[in-house]
Structure 1
Amino acid sequence: MVNSYTSEDILKITNKLKKSGYKLTPQRQAIVDTIIDSVGKHLTVEEIFDIVKQRRPEIGLATVYRTIMLMHEQNIVTRLDLIDGTARYELARDDEHHTHHHLVCLNCSTVFEFMDDLLDPLEEEIGRKYNFKVLDHSLKFYGICNECAKEEKIKEELNNDKREG
């Protein structure tokens, strides 16, 4: 995914933190910059820490963790929980009507995004049937990505060759 964030977007994020009473310290700025630079990558707190540490060697994991939790509370980042218990974070998008959806590879844990909102008719039906106003939804599909499927096929072919030879 191409980083389509502008300096105006960065300013919105920093202003949101400031309006909530939080100072934008150099450490927090480095974390915000890392999240923006990593759009589409779905990073764990530890992965964010590893990147930020290159820019700000003095930063600690606890600071990164607290800042990510703060950004999550302020709806600056969204949290993606995977079935292995891993939480990944990505920048929230103002232009989305709903949270976008994800494809998660069970083999390599790669996360792919897809933007098609296929659930609008289902949301309307749920609203009518249960008298419930749906505000958002999150959809994750779990499976095997193309690269892992290719590797599995290669392993399978090698095993067949060994049995035949």
Structure 2
Amino acid sequence: MADDTSVQVDDASSEDTSEDYSDLTRAVRELVDVMHSGNLERLEVTRGDLHILLRAHSVTPAPATNDQPVVAAQPVPATVEPEPVDQPWHQITSPMVGTYYEAPSPGEPPYVQPGDTVAVGQTVAIIEAMKIMNEIIADRPGVIEAVLVENGEAVEFGHPLFRMKPA
């Protein structure tokens, strides 16, 4: 719809009275209303030697916003680091930069705690990166020996999250 309307009035006669101007003003306002209600971009009226041309300047609409909800990303397998053969434990590390969360939402129990047995593919934590919640899954079976980060802590790629004893 038009936002800004310009009015051009050409009148060859300069003998109008103030009463004629009030009638003219009222008529122009009515024409502007007609123009806006009909979504017209241009309205031209000629009556005798009076010529009225109304043009509405079009306004570019604002770009549409995407109001779709944020979708959780697919589970991300934890980074597997080569381990020396003599180590009796395995570390689950962060596959990305983000914020570590131990539970699906505040107030809920953690996914895993020390002493819990985990299976391959089991969710052990969430890393929030760019407003997307990424599930961190166990890459091998075992028993969680220690949680190496605090809930809400910022983590980097490769940051150790858990120490576990392989099954």
Fold conserved between structures, TM > 0.5? no
> Higher relative contact order at CA 8 Å, sep ≥6: structure 1 or structure 2?
2
- Structure showing the higher strand proportion among its residues: 2
Q: Shorter-chain TM-score: which interval? A: under 0.3
TM-score, structure 2 normalization? 0.20
- Structure showing the higher helix proportion among its residues: 1
- Give the greater-gyration-radius structure (CA): 2
